[in-house]
């Protein structure tokens, strides 16, 4: 941009002609076209709006978000925060939003890991491995996601009941009531240890930055891993130890007709997560593969010729270049996964769409209900794309 404005030829302002009121003047035509299009679009919007207002009056539907404060009376099976049916609609929707985030965040992490693994497997020199990865990608991308979700849900529903649950490893049970995993009794010491881990991660990141900056000045590489080990592992363990080292395993066990204790993953959540991760991983695999292939072979060879170690070649030479190709399409896959999590409504996982849909059926507030859904997704989409744009700008090629 700066180059074009500095161009001396463009600094001379074009001669200004007075606007003639004639069809042959480009500016007049532009204004007429814009007025026409804005007029048509505005007219349609106004027509729809006036119809809506009239219809709402006729049907005696009160508009506004007053219903959010009323008692919801709808049961929600899975909730991250305390909830019971006597709570308000607002809290019900909040629970739904958290459920959406729960599946989206976990899904994004797992799909990235699996997708990257499959993308690399497709480039493997092992013929069998690359063929299997190729078939996986082709098949998974050619089947509708909704069909896959219904399929996995049907598979989970077809599993034996809790009494005949599949028990592949001690403490892990898979039945038509979902997946049961061993867990620990969560105490405040664990929360503090988790907090210490997060603080340690932030400190490691800061240390790595300063180490890099110093290396840029004096050319001496500094080791990051001893500090990282201390901050990420020793510090949380020490915190946990100081607070009494509580450790009570919570194993799931069959009591009566169902399991008690342990970590419960409901069949709905499990099917949704499985479907979303397997589906999105197919797309991410292709993006990763394309990104790695986009790095010219000469870059590998040049790095090896300089005597860099294989990990250095990957970390310092290949990945920074591949990431530039990978990040923008990856962003849209993350957005897609989040938006696709709305298909939860088809298999009965209570995400924001499902709860907003129930709300609008119970209260008749169709416009508000759909506005809430759209607002939530627009906010999530915008946040993810802002973050990924920031990250993309950070790793983008710095040109002179």
- Least distance (Å) between residue 372 CB and another protein: 10
In terms of C-beta distances under 8 Å and separation of at least 24 residues, what long-range contacts does 58-65 make, across chains too?
A: 61/364, 61/365, 63/365, 63/367, 63/368, 64/368, 65/368
**In contact, 123 and 318? CB cutoff 8 Å:** no
- Least distance (Å) between residue 325 CB and another protein: 15
Cα 354 from Cα 76, distance rounded (Å)? 10
- Least distance (Å) between residue 398 CB and another protein: 23
Cα 339 from Cα 145, distance rounded (Å)? 12
Strands 183-184 and 178-181: unpaired
Comparing CB distances to another protein, the nearer of 109 and 146 is 146
Comparing CB distances to another protein, the nearer of 29 and 212 is 29
**In contact, 233 and 182? CB cutoff 8 Å:** no
**In contact, 272 and 189? CB cutoff 8 Å:** no
Instruction: State which H helix or E strand residue 179 sits in.
Output: strand 178-181
- Least distance (Å) between residue 234 CB and another protein: 33
Residue 280: HSE in the Cβ half-sphere, 13 Å Cα cutoff = 29
Token pair recorded at residue 302: 């040049």
**In contact, 296 and 177? CB cutoff 8 Å:** no
Strands 258-260 and 263-265: unpaired
- Least distance (Å) between residue 246 CB and another protein: 40
- Least distance (Å) between residue 201 CB and another protein: 31
Helix axes 89-122, 352-363, angle to 10 degrees: 150
Classify each residue of 5-24 as buried b or exposed e, where b means 16 or more C-beta atoms within 10 Å of its C-beta.
Answer: eeeeeeeeeeeeeeeeeeee
Comparing CB distances to another protein, the nearer of 59 and 223 is 59
- Least distance (Å) between residue 230 CB and another protein: 33
Comparing CB distances to another protein, the nearer of 135 and 206 is 135
- Least distance (Å) between residue 197 CB and another protein: 33
- Least distance (Å) between residue 194 CB and another protein: 32
Cα 214 from Cα 216, distance rounded (Å)? 5
Comparing CB distances to another protein, the nearer of 111 and 145 is 145
Residues forming the site for another protein (CB under 8 A): 30, 33-34, 37-38, 41, 48, 51-52, 54-56, 58, 125-129, 132, 138-139, 141-148, 150-151, 153-155, 157-158, 160, 339-340, 342-343, 345-346, 353, 357, 360, 366-367, 369-370, 373-374, 377-378, 381-382
Comparing CB distances to another protein, the nearer of 219 and 298 is 298
Q: Is 400 helix (H, G, I), strand (E, B) or coil?
A: coil
Token pair recorded at residue 387: 């973050």
Comparing CB distances to another protein, the nearer of 48 and 229 is 48
Comparing CB distances to another protein, the nearer of 66 and 144 is 144
- Least distance (Å) between residue 380 CB and another protein: 9
Token pair recorded at residue 241: 């130890």
Comparing CB distances to another protein, the nearer of 139 and 184 is 139
- Least distance (Å) between residue 273 CB and another protein: 17
DSSP string, 307-349: T--HHHIIIIIIHHHHHHHHHHHHHHHHHHHHHHGGGHHHHT-
Comparing CB distances to another protein, the nearer of 306 and 382 is 382
Comparing CB distances to another protein, the nearer of 32 and 185 is 32
Q: Whole-angstrom distance between the N-terminal and C-terminal Cα of the chain?
A: 13
């Amino acid at each position: 941009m700066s180059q074009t404005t500095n161009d001396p030829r463009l600094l001379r302002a074009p001669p200004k002609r007075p606007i003639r009121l004639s069809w042959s003047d480009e500016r007049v035509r532009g204004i007429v076209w814009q007025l026409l299009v804005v007029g048509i679009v505005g007219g349609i919007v106004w027509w729809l709006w006036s119809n809506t207002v009239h219809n709402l009056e006729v049907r005696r539907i009160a508009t506004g978000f007053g219903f959010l404060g009323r008692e919801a009376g709808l049961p929600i099976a899975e909730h991250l925060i305390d909830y019971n049916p006597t709570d308000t609609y607002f809290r019900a929707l909040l629970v739904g939003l958290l459920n959406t985030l729960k599946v989206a965040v976990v899904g994004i992490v797992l799909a990235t890991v699996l997708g990257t693994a499959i993308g690399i497997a497709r480039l493997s020199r092992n013929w069998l491995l690359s063929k299997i990865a190729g078939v996986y990608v082709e098949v998974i991308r050619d089947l509708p996601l909704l069909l896959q979700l219904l399929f996995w849900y049907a598979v989970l529903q077809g599993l034996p009941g809790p009494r005949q649950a599949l028990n592949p490893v001690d403490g892990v049970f898979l039945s038509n009531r979902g997946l049961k995993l061993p867990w620990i009794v969560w105490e405040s010491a664990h929360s503090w240890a988790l907090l210490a881990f997060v603080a340690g991660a932030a400190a490691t990141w800061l240390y790595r930055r300063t180490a890099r900056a110093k290396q840029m000045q004096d050319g001496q590489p500094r080791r990051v891993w001893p500090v990282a080990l201390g901050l990420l592992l020793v510090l949380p363990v020490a915190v946990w130890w100081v607070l009494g080292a509580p450790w009570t395993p919570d194993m799931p066990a069959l009591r009566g007709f169902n399991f008690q204790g342990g970590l419960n993953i409901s069949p709905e959540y499990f099917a949704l997560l499985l479907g979303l991760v397997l589906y999105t991983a197919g797309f991410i695999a292709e993006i990763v593969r394309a990104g790695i292939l986009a790095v010219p072979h000469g870059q590998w060879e040049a790095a090896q010729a300089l005597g860099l170690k294989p990990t250095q070649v990957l970390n310092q030479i290949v990945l920074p270049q591949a990431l530039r190709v990978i990040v923008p399409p990856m962003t849209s896959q993350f957005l897609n996964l989040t938006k696709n999590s709305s298909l939860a409504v088809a298999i009965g996982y209570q995400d924001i769409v499902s709860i907003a849909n129930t709300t609008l059926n119970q209260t008749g507030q169709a416009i508000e209900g759909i506005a809430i859904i759209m607002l939530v997704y627009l906010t999530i989409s915008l946040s993810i794309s802002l973050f990924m744009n920031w990250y993309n700008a950070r790793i983008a090629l710095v040109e002179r």
